[in-house]
Amino acid sequence: MNIVLIGIQGSGKGTLVASLTKEMEFEVISTGQLCRDEIATGSALGKHIKEVILKGNLVETDTVLKMIAKKLKSQKENYVFDGFPRSLEQAKAMKKVCDVDLAVYLNLSKEVAIERLVNRLTCSKCGNVFSKLKVKSDICPVCKGKLEQRFDDNLENKFKQFEVFFRDTLPLIDYYKKQNVLVEVDANQTPENVAKLVMRAINEHNYKK
């Protein structure tokens, strides 16, 4: 079963991916990670990807698909795609490599997304992310490291990413709706609840089959 995730930063994708890998034996295909891995090998393809990213451009669809195809050869049963497809063009191209059984749209309002972003605390030791609204001190509840607000999370950049998301990624919703594989979840609730709802939808989907 192949699942694609559609949602802006702050919509709970990280928690959802963690639940799917831990509780439902999904393997994650994160295109960001695939790019970093390829760069680390020092291959010609990796050098090319690094150049593209350094210029601030998106890696070409064909290049990403090649890496995805390679990863799919590991022949696991369940895959969840994080970071791909990001546009209609990419969704159509993806068909060459694999089918999509379920497209999960984590629907978060722009206002809440911005609020979560502004209140984001990152642990300097373990890297976990928390909300300032929930953790009332600057000590990590997981490892007792120091929590800090990171603004490599450059806000202006993030706002730009939000605009791009609403422009390029939202058309995917209609596309998958027409194919009858769309599941929409209200992501304004806690990430834990979102993950529960999505896992329930996956089970229902499998039951119907």
Smallest distance from the beta carbon of 129 to Zn ion, in angstroms? 10
Amino acid found at 195: A
Q: Which residues contact 175 (CB under 8 A, 6 or more apart)?
A: 88, 91
Stretch touching Zn ion by CB under 5 A, among 14-22, 87-95, 125-133, 187-195: 125-133
Residue 40 or 143: the one with the smaller Cβ distance to Zn ion is 143
Residue 27 or 153: the one with the smaller Cβ distance to Zn ion is 153
Per-residue binder mask for Zn ion (CB under 5 A), 145-164, x = binder: x-------------------
Regarding 121 and contact with Zn ion (CB under 5 A), the answer is no
Tell me which of 40, 69, 133, 143 binds Zn ion, using CB under 5 A. 143
Residue 146 or 167: the one with the smaller Cβ distance to Zn ion is 146
What is the C-alpha to C-alpha distance for residues 89 and 175, in angstroms, rounded to an integer?
11
Regarding 40 and contact with Zn ion (CB under 5 A), the answer is no
Regarding 139 and contact with Zn ion (CB under 5 A), the answer is no
Q: Are 86 and 9 a contacting pair, CB within 8 Å?
A: no
Stretch touching Zn ion by CB under 5 A, among 9-17, 106-114, 117-125, 153-161: 117-125
3-state secondary structure of 82: strand
Tell me which of 5, 100, 140, 187 binds Zn ion, using CB under 5 A. 140
171 by Cβ neighbours in 10 Å (0-12 / 13-18 / 19+) ranks as middle
Regarding 104 and contact with Zn ion (CB under 5 A), the answer is no
Residue 62 or 152: the one with the smaller Cβ distance to Zn ion is 152
Q: 3-state SS of 116-152?
A: HHHCEEEECCCCCEEECCCCCCCECCCCCCEEECCCC
What is the C-alpha to C-alpha distance for residues 68 and 52, in angstroms, rounded to an integer?
18
DSSP-derived secondary structure letter, 25: -
Residues that bind Zn ion (CB under 5 A): 123, 125-126, 140, 142-143, 145
